[in-house]
Amino acid sequence: MLEPLFRSLISPIGRYRISGRGQGGVVRPDPVNLQLVVGDTYFPNGAVVALAGSNTNGQGRNGHKVGPSKVKNLVIVDAHAMVTPGSGVEVNSPANTMTWQRAVEKLTGVNTPVRALYAGGNTQLSNPGDIILSDPVAGMEWDADTTNYTGFYKTVPLVTDTMSSVTNNGIGSAGFRTTGGSQLLRAGGGVLNNSGTSSGPACPPAMVLGIPYVPMACVIGIVDSIGTYKDDTNTSSTQGFFARAMRDVAGHCFPWHKQGIDANKIQNQMVAVAPVQKLLWQYVTDIFIQLGTNDIAAGADLATMKARFLDLADYAYNTVGPYGCYLRIHASSIIPRGTLTGAQNTVRNDYNAWLAAGADGRLTKYHDIITEAGDYNTYPNDTIHPGPTPHAAMGAKVAAGMAPYVDPYFEARLAA
């Protein structure tokens, strides 16, 4: 009875004529739908920060690496919700409204930032639980494989009200609270002047969308502390094995977005309890699930683990991405952990084996990183979180496994 819903993975590549250009000589339809086009984008996952004191605004700047195609029609996406540090529970926070202004900056040619508009206006008010999208930025295109920037200027109603934040340090992340005027459209662009300001949250966009000139895959990683970066360094070139991998897949950025934080569980990411994050899934071609160790440590048995995974996988399996194909689903193995009991290790091993066998037909690609994770007795701070060297090894393994999926049609299931 499940066969019509969970049919085997097929590729629609054969539907398109062969020519001397395009991936593998196959001519693909020109992309027409908005999709994620850069890396270093995140669902908010840091503690909210009060405007405080005499400050009147928060502002800053964040860098993003473009994937292997030039992109146009840039749209900035922000989320007025967060995954809670220490649990991963999605909450519609801050409780107050926020007013956003955004700009994009190209680091070639004239660098002065260009304002992103909202229904033709300069600002957009967000309420708890909102996802807001700018209009496409007029005249702005970013070249393939280049680093460019987004900027923000944000206000809240009261100095006691709070602003969202992200724990991850991306490319050139900068944020501060200030009594000064807006630097959003500063002449010449470049680094902001933070003289006389208070420290404040860098607020990278939840996503930067666009339309690539040639088909280009993109991915959301749903992660716990290991995928977030814990005990790896938190920099623009590291930040955990997932980010390390996606920064360089076959020589290019594989555009990526993170949803997660420390202590996260599959349980906390299930569709009914994390609906705002799911609103972003339509803008990617792939979902990468790195979760489960905390579910097992909290007592989940094998049947529970499978049911929780399938809640996420079935949603992805039936979500249509920007190329008219259902999302491809990736999962990494749950690495050994020194605090698990013998019974819990049995659950971990059996669950990994189930993933490796295809997770009842839902999984597109299983990424086994157990060898690369190394001996947990060598980890720097506990027997749970690998240090930088294992993160680099795990990232290299995943990057190699992702290489064929740079083509958004590889092993994809056409929805039509």
3-class secondary structure per residue, the chain: CCCCCCCCCCCCHHHCCECCCCHHHECCCCCCCCEECECCEECCCEEEEECCCCCCEEEEEEEEEECCCCEEEEEEEEECCEECCCCCCEECCCCCCEEEEEEEECCCCCCCCEEECECCECCEEECCCCEEECCCCCCCCECCCCEEEEEEEEECCCCCCEEEECCCCCEEEEEEEECCCCCCCCCCCCCCCCCCCEECCCCCCCEEEEEECCCCCCEEEEECHHHHCCCCCCCCCCCHHHHHHHHCECCECCCEEEEECCCCCHHHHCCCCCHHHHCCHHHCCEEEEECCHHHHHCCCCHHHHHHHHHHHHHHHHCCECCCCEECEEEEECCCCCCCCCHHHHHHHHHHHHHHHCCCCCCCCEEECCHHHHCCHHHCCCCCCCCCHHHHHHHHHHHHHHHHHHHCCCCCCEECC
What is the distance in angstroms between the CA of the first residue and the CA of the last residue of the chain? 20
**Residue finishing a domain among 208, 226, 256:** 208
* C-alpha R_g of the chain: 21
Q: Is residue 8 part of a domain?
A: no
Residue-wise pLDDT for 139-162, tens only, equals: 999 999 999 999 999 999 999 999
Tell whether 234 and 284 lie within a shared domain.
Answer: yes
Asked if residue 68 has a cis previous peptide bond (ω within 30° of 0), the answer is no
Tell whether 183 and 264 lie within a shared domain.
Answer: no
**Residue finishing a domain among 150, 180, 208:** 208
The predicted structure's pLDDT at residue 12: 33
Tell whether 238 and 303 lie within a shared domain.
Answer: yes
Q: Is residue 17 part of a domain?
A: yes
Residue-wise pLDDT for 335-373, tens only, equals: 999 999 999 999 999 999 999 999 999 999 999 999 999
State the sign of the Cα–Cα–Cα–Cα dihedral 295, 167, 47, 203: negative
Tell whether 258 and 203 lie within a shared domain.
Answer: no
The predicted structure's pLDDT at residue 28: 83
Q: How many domains does the chain have?
A: 2
Instruction: Name residue, tokens 């955990």.
Output: 240
**Do 284 and 257 touch, CB atoms closer than 8 A?**
yes
Residue-wise pLDDT for 3-56, tens only, equals: 233 333 333 333 332 222 345 556 789 999 999 999 999 999 999 999 999 999
Percent of the chain with pLDDT over 70: 93
The predicted structure's pLDDT at residue 27: 74
Residue-wise pLDDT for 124-136, tens only, equals: 999 999 999 999 9
Between 24 and 205, the more confident residue is: 205
CA distance 234 to 59: 21
Q: Is residue 294 part of a domain?
A: yes
Percent of the chain with pLDDT over 90: 91
CA nearest neighbour of 45 among 269, 241, 197, 236: 269
Q: Is residue 6 part of a domain?
A: no
Tell whether 94 and 243 lie within a shared domain.
Answer: no
Average pLDDT, the chain: 94
Q: Is residue 354 part of a domain?
A: yes
Tell whether 344 and 270 lie within a shared domain.
Answer: yes
Tell whether 383 and 318 lie within a shared domain.
Answer: yes
**Do 172 and 51 touch, CB atoms closer than 8 A?**
no
pLDDT > 70? residue 197: yes
The band of 223, judged by pLDDT with boundaries at 50, 70 and 90, is very high
Tell whether 372 and 348 lie within a shared domain.
Answer: yes
Residue-wise pLDDT for 259-318, tens only, equals: 999 999 999 999 999 999 999 999 999 999 999 999 999 999 999 999 999 999 999 999
The band of 109, judged by pLDDT with boundaries at 50, 70 and 90, is low
Q: Is residue 39 part of a domain?
A: no
Report residue 276: phi and psi, to 5°: -70, -40
Tell whether 305 and 381 lie within a shared domain.
Answer: yes
The predicted structure's pLDDT at residue 416: 73
Q: Is residue 41 part of a domain?
A: no
Could you tell me the CATH number of the domain that includes residue 236? 3.40.50.1110
pLDDT > 90? residue 226: yes
Tell whether 23 and 61 lie within a shared domain.
Answer: no
The band of 195, judged by pLDDT with boundaries at 50, 70 and 90, is very high
Q: Is residue 194 part of a domain?
A: yes
Tell whether 89 and 172 lie within a shared domain.
Answer: yes
Taking residue 191's Cβ as centre, other Cβ atoms within 10 Å add up to: 11
Q: Averaged over 232-249, what is the pLDDT?
A: 98
- 381 Cβ contact list (under 8 Å, min separation 6): 231
The predicted structure's pLDDT at residue 18: 25
The band of 110, judged by pLDDT with boundaries at 50, 70 and 90, is low
CA distance 13 to 343: 45
Instruction: Name residue, tokens 């085997």.
Output: 8
CA distance 154 to 58: 5
Q: Which domain holds residue 59?
A: 46-208
**Residue finishing a domain among 146, 173, 208:** 208
Tell whether 199 and 225 lie within a shared domain.
Answer: no
